[in-house]
Amino acid sequence: MDTRKIIIAVAILSVGLLTAFQYSSTKGTAKVEQQQGIYIYYLSMPTTAYDSIGNYSLHYPFTSLLIHSQVSANPLTCLTELINGTKNNYPQADGIIINKIMNSATVIRFK
């Protein structure tokens, strides 16, 4: 009889723990893209705790207006350069949070 009570208690405890740690998805929840091992956040923020470990900026020999028009014309090139620059300068990086005009990013490491 004692074994039966223990099994029932463990079953109830297991169900309670599984429901207590269930992740809740909302309209703002999304799966984040990862490229070359780097999580990419553009017009979004991580929900997991992180540390900012630096910044990386694209260094074009143009004015900021020309940088903005170039980004508008070819965002994939800028994204690739931000990822490559981050990986070269911050090999411990987990992700980047890219600014609106895609000319710089905050480099992050998850806690």
Residue 63 confidence (pLDDT): 47
How confident is the model over 77-88, as a mean pLDDT?
92
CA 106/CA 24 separation, integer angstroms: 27
Residue 71 confidence (pLDDT): 47
Domain ranges of the chain: 32-110
Condensed to tens digits (0 to 9), the pLDDT of residues 31-70 reads 899 999 999 999 999 988 999 999 999 876 554 555 555 5
Condensed to tens digits (0 to 9), the pLDDT of residues 20-32 reads 556 667 788 888 9
Q: Dihedral through CA 96, CA 85, CA 81, CA 110, nearest 10?
A: -10
**Collapsing DSSP states into helix, strand and coil, what is residue 2?**
helix
CA 12/CA 28 separation, integer angstroms: 32
